[in-house]
Structure 1
Amino acid sequence: MQITVLGSGSWGSVLADVLARNGHAVTIYGRNAQEINEINTDHTNKHYLADLHMDESIVGTTDLHQAVASAAAIFFVIPTQAIRGVAEKVGAILSEEGHRPFLISAAKGLEEGTLYRISQILTQSIPAPVRGDIIVLSGPSHAEDVARHDITTLTAASTNEDAMAWVQWVVMNDFMRIYTSPDVVGVELGGAIKNVIAIGAGAIHGLGYGDNTKAALMTRGLAEMARLGAAFGADPLTFSGLSGLGDLIVTCTSTNSRNWRCGNRLGQGESLQHILNTMGMVVEGVPTAQAVHDLSSQAQVDMPICEAIYEVLYRHRPLQDSIDALMGRIAKPEIDF
């Protein structure tokens, strides 16, 4: 199977490696020529994953046309805010070539302005005649752990059962297990919103709060995720699964999470701009916080934790003030759907 991975960051690199070791012919596309040259010559990508030795059959390229022209499947593993521009170029190339590859979203976020999920961006950007089934691949999957073949479980979501089964066949091996779900909305929203909650989890750690506070934040954050998802037609039970609770746990508790690291540095007093300038990777939870604020306002869904994180990031509200305001809210039942 000829498979293309768009995005040569940490998750794109390790996903390309998994697919190649599963026996597929893999091309990885990236814009950084030096990075792609390193993948082709040394079979490493040390800026992102110092210990990963990539399968030597992987072909790296900076030529998007070369990357997608003959692909049977295209994995989008690039920052959410860049997906539309790349998808439009992919759509033009596929229209020239005249074939319909599977399109797999392996990124997590919401587009600023439109508030679209990634599957919606792909649907809008790639013409229907050359657009195969869209599948969302999401769940607890830090690249550093997958690189060392730690046991990892993900969810593949699509409206087409055969497409989900195809992703299971392509990705599964002795350390990667893929489950399926028809709830595309829930899987995508869970993967996006958990990044916002993870910034909060890092922030309370940076401020010196302990495990009780972390548990409270994660549990009530999960309630907010499910509440917003239900407002847009998702099954609330989806948020108890891998793409909801599972991804929330790993992102809120691991130092591998760039969203957690961003929050932790905020809690220690660093400015957001300095953190973003020095992180070296995109912190998806920051733009997603703006999108979740807009989406919850539009749907009139109460999301006090996400709103507090938004105010810290975008309105420069002091962290402790935000925590005090959350603790001063009126008493209410726990189950409040």
Structure 2
Amino acid sequence: MADVVFMFPGQGSQSVGMGKDFFEQFQEVKQTFEEASDILGFNMAKLCFEDSENKLNLTEFTQPTILTLSTALFRVLEKRASAKSTLVAGHSLGEYSALVSLGALSFSDALKAVHFRGQAMQRAVPVGVGAMAAYLGNAGQSVPNICKEVSTNNAVVEVVNFNSPGQLVLSGHKVAVEKACEVIAEKKLGKAKTLPVSAPFHSFLMQPAAEEMKDFLSNTKLHSFAGQIVANVDAKIHTNATYSKEILVRQIASAVLWTQSLATIHDSLPEALWIEVGPGKVLQGLAKKTIENSNCMGTHDLVALHAALEFLLK
């Protein structure tokens, strides 16, 4: 069988109703949702399937719901097709899901950590002070310089997600983010549009959240693991010997080097099949844009999950 790389999505892949079909068909999914509900003290299935209180897009709830569904789906692959995590990566929050798949974090510890992570990220910056924007275009190499040009001592913007060669995310002070978008439009370098988010994620403004996370993770055990993981902060392959909780702390206020991470994985396993484990198809799309002729699968619906199981059972 070909080498398999498992990718785990981050925020932005959530949607009301996610996981319901899997919950009804797979006992592993039902058990994982029930386990999550017991750990966090709220009904995970009701939040994902109904979201009657409009909490799904609040980061303190978004993060544990995506982790729960990603873990549930990996457990299906693990139990029914003996899937093993040998090389994994996760986009931002998804790095926690990747660590759970390796056995480096227990599901319980990861769930508590990302719930706290969401709360800390929201606390770090008052609402309205920060902003984020998505850039789409063919001049991505020019965007970091534009961010430097428009930034001042009191208002800073930076590129915080390198998602694909033509897709970047900017984050920082609201006034600086808006100015960068204006300059990109004036120079006709592509499209830049502010995003409907509640905080400037991954920017230096998240440093207070990183400090909170450092304290929280001091009581969380990182278990030894046999596989490999590509970290967001440096796009390098890490083993049990080199991965540390400090990487998760740095991640909160550092850029997500996703394009670079995909290149690292491709250099290591050029013939690999990429399987996105979790809701949505975002990471499959980014892989196809970044790695020429990449072979991607997902678990975004029942058909996709059964196809992934069928492949892994070959």
Global fold match (TM > 0.5):
no
TM-score by length of 2: 0.32
Structure with more of its chain in helix, by fraction? 1
